[in-house]
């Protein structure tokens, strides 16, 4: 009897220890790293839960596609191209002749775009609503082919940097990282560097152009999307030699973070953490290097219709989503790790965009424009002072801060600049 009792006691003791001895199914799944392809052919690493999220996203994309196809069937293939519906606006621009049906279309379109454009329709919708089609129509039909032929074989600092960056742009992608992919990306980037010599080429554009190629399918359409992006959608001078526009955007973002997420901003200031350490890459690459591809493209869906304000919405949302974790961070490295883990695993675009549009608060393009004008004088003053300091250096030293030394140099350059401005 005593032996039987001892065995029961031992069994109960072992059973009580099972949660400790054997991790839960959720824990095992969370720790199991797997590789899988996303919607655009990128190989990403995640756990089993990430795979399930990606499958759910694919189902949402299919459902959203059915909504778009139903509208095309009932309203016509190009129902969203009403002349009264203005892209890159605050959503709706009204004319005296505006009919209720057009207003309904505009409101429907804004909601639909925020929920995502189906991948198969993205090329057509982007090209029309962004203004790329209109921009292309202002030049001869042979413009792009003539441009690529005219610049073939020409060597400039921009072309040398582009050639250096091609193999480093999404390495391992099944098409981008091939001779054909490199050639297509080179044509787009080199062509634009000659179209706009003020921009030429700036590191970060390689990631943007590469993703445009995957979506638009053709070099020429990707080229015109890049053109409308740099010339009409984004703030001026984001990619010019001194990156002044990017500096301004960083200052505006810091102000917005203080207003929209004051607890986070105060805590980061106490840690002496400069948000440009993470946000510079977001604004230069438009999240292409930071977020999963479908999440990036969902941000771009809104970007090409509502304008650059969506970049601020998305950037603020990333911080807002992890507010409690960030408030517990004690070191700069902790903050960077939290932000990077968050962005790398944001496979569900709705998780980001729900926060971006529902929990950040209302922002208009006019409000952001006023913030830019407020920041520009200080930025330009600091850039002038920096230029004077550089002019006093030897030529070799000056090369170290050239904008195209490397992409990481952008981050450090702007972080150092921000610290100087704020000191």
The domain that contains 225 carries what CATH number?
1.10.8.270
Torsion of CA 376, 382, 384, 386, to 10 degrees: -140
Is 305 contained in some domain? yes
Other C-beta atoms lying within 10 Å of the C-beta of residue 352? 26
Do 52 and 187 fall into the same domain? Answer: no
Report residue 236's pLDDT band, with 50, 70 and 90 as the boundaries.
Answer: confident
Output the pLDDT for position 87. Answer: 46
Write down the residue that tokens 């006093």 correspond to: 392
Q: Are residues 221 and 269 in the same domain?
A: no
Q: Are residues 165 and 314 in the same domain?
A: no
Mean pLDDT of the chain: 84
Residue 347: the pLDDT is 94
Does residue 8 belong to any structural domain of this protein? Answer: no
Residue-level pLDDT at 29:
54
- Does residue 13 surpass a pLDDT of 60? no
Domain that holds residue 60: 30-81+100-120
CATH number at residue 413: 1.10.472.80
In a domain, 88, yes or no: no
Number of structural domains the chain divides into: 3
Residues 156 and 263 in one domain: no
By three-state DSSP, how is residue 53 classified? Answer: helix
Residue 312 and residue 343 in one domain: yes
Mark whether 110 and 138 lie in a shared domain: no
pLDDT at position 20: 37
pLDDT of 386 over the 90 cut: no
User: What's the rounded mean pLDDT across residues 71-93?
Assistant: 66
Alpha carbon distance 310, 306 (integer Å): 7
For 20-163, where are the E strands, in sequence order? 34-37, 43-46
401-412: per-residue pLDDT in tens? 444 444 455 444
- Average pLDDT of span 163-183: 97
Residues 188 and 271 in one domain: no
Q: Is residue 19 part of a domain?
A: no
Burial of 65 (0-12, 13-18, 19+ CB in 10 A): middle
Residues 331 and 206 in one domain: no
Pair 292, 362 in one domain = yes
């Amino acid at each position: 009897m005593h032996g039987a009792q001892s065995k029961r006691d031992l069994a109960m003791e072992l059973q009580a220890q099972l949660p400790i001895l054997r991790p839960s199914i959720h824990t095992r799944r969370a720790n199991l790293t797997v590789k899988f392809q996303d919607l655009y052919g990128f190989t990403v690493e995640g756990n089993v839960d990430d795979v399930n999220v990606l499958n759910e996203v694919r189902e949402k994309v299919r459902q959203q596609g059915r909504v778009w196809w139903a509208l095309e069937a009932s309203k016509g293939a190009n129902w969203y191209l009403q002349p009264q519906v203005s892209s890159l606006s605050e959503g709706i621009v009204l004319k005296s002749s505006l009919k209720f049906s057009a207003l309904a279309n505009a409101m429907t379109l804004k909601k639909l775009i925020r929920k995502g454009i189906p991948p198969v329709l993205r090329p057509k919708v982007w090209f029309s609503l962004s203004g790329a089609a209109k921009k292309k129509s202002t030049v001869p039909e042979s413009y792009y082919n003539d441009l690529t032929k005219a610049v073939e074989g020409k060597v400039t600092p921009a072309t040398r940097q582009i050639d250096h960056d091609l193999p480093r742009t999404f390495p391992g992608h099944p098409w981008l990282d091939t001779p054909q992919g490199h050639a297509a990306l080179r044509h787009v980037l080199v062509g634009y560097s000659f179209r706009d010599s003020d921009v030429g080429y700036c590191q970060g554009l390689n990631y943007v152009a590469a993703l445009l190629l995957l979506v638009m399918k053709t070099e020429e359409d990707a080229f015109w999307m890049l053109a409308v992006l740099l010339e009409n959608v984004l703030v001026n001078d984001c990619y010019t030699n001194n990156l002044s526009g990017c500096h301004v955007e960083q200052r505006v973002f810091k102000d917005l973070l203080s207003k929209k997420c004051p607890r986070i901003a105060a805590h980061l200031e106490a840690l002496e953490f400069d948000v440009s350490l993470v946000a510079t890459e977001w604004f230069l690459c438009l999240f292409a290097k930071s977020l999963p591809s479908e999440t990036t493209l969902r941000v771009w869906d809104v970007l090409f219709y509502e304008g650059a304000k969506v970049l601020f919405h998305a950037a603020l949302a990333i911080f807002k989503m992890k507010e409690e974790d960030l408030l517990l961070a004690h070191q700069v490295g902790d903050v960077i790790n939290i932000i990077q883990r968050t962005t790398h695993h944001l496979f569900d675009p709705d998780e980001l965009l729900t926060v971006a549009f529902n929990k950040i608060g209302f922002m208009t393009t006019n409000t952001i424009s006023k913030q830019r004008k407020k920041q520009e004088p200080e930025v330009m003053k600091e850039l002038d002072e920096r230029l004077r300091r550089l002019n006093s250096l030897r030529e070799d030293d000056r090369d170290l801060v050239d904008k195209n030394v490397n992409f990481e140099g952008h981050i450090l350059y702007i972080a150092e600049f921000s610290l100087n401005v704020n000191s």
